[in-house]
Amino acid sequence: MHHDRNQAAAAYRLPPLPYAPSALVPVISTTTLMIHYGKHHRSYLATLHKLIAETEFADLSLEDIITATAGKPDQSAIFNNAAQTWNHTFYWRSLTPKGGGEPPAGLRQKIEASFESVDACKKALANAAINQFGSGWAWLVFDGEKIRAIKTGNADVPLTQDMRPLLTIDVWEHAYYLDYHNRRADYVNAVIDRLINWDFAAENFG
Ligand code: MN3
């Protein structure tokens, strides 16, 4: 590898999982986590490397690749693999073994101003996740004024819509099918009740 690529290349290494693969049991099984992280996430990153080698994107940060390729049909393979790489890193951090419960005070105030209550916010996030048709993601985002619950299809990420992601839930079938089969709502509700990382969301809210 050429020396001036080192900095960009570092950004594309698979970040370590922030916990052991068994840490989210019983909500997410060790097998699901090992395949999801070790195969799916790794494969998006490996494909991205192949696609951008020797291109104008080779030295860009992941976020810059996503922004530069969003909405361009001839760059959709690069966009999809860059966004899926980013989304999964963000998803691992959106979960934590002793998660769920209530958000910290600063974030809670903003949630109550945006949704009336923390429970209403959790319901809106669950509805976004359950109602996403096909593969995609549910997100809490800050749009500059309010916190909102939104959904995106396939690899799409709110970064390209000028919204700041606070946390995400992966609703691709590979995220839950081994553990929950077709019961996506059970996966989503268990994640929100027991794994969601409100401290991470508060950190992103700033
Ligand atoms: Mn996934």
Domains and CATH numbers, the chain: 2-8+29-94 (1.10.287.990), 105-205 (3.55.40.20)
- Residue 170: phi, psi to the nearest 5? -75, 125
The alpha carbon of 30 and the centre of ligand 1 are apart by a number of angstroms equal to: 15
What pLDDT, on the 0 to 100 scale, is given for residue 11?
A: 52
Q: Which residue type does 52 have?
A: I
CB neighbours of 53 closer than 8 A, spacing ≥ 6? none
The alpha carbon of 32 and the centre of ligand 1 are apart by a number of angstroms equal to: 10
The alpha carbon of 165 and the centre of ligand 1 are apart by a number of angstroms equal to: 17
The alpha carbon of 88 and the centre of ligand 1 are apart by a number of angstroms equal to: 6
What pLDDT, on the 0 to 100 scale, is given for residue 162?
A: 87
The alpha carbon of 87 and the centre of ligand 1 are apart by a number of angstroms equal to: 8
What pLDDT, on the 0 to 100 scale, is given for residue 22?
A: 98
The alpha carbon of 146 and the centre of ligand 1 are apart by a number of angstroms equal to: 27
- List per-residue pLDDT tens for the chain, 206 residues long: 444 444 455 456 899 999 999 999 999 999 999 999 999 999 999 999 999 999 999 989 999 999 999 999 999 999 999 999 999 999 999 999 999 999 999 999 999 999 999 999 999 999 999 999 999 999 999 999 999 999 999 999 999 998 999 999 999 999 999 999 999 999 999 999 999 999 999 999 99
The alpha carbon of 47 and the centre of ligand 1 are apart by a number of angstroms equal to: 15
By CB atoms closer than 10 A (0-12, 13-18, 19+), residue 102 is exposed
What pLDDT, on the 0 to 100 scale, is given for residue 26?
A: 98
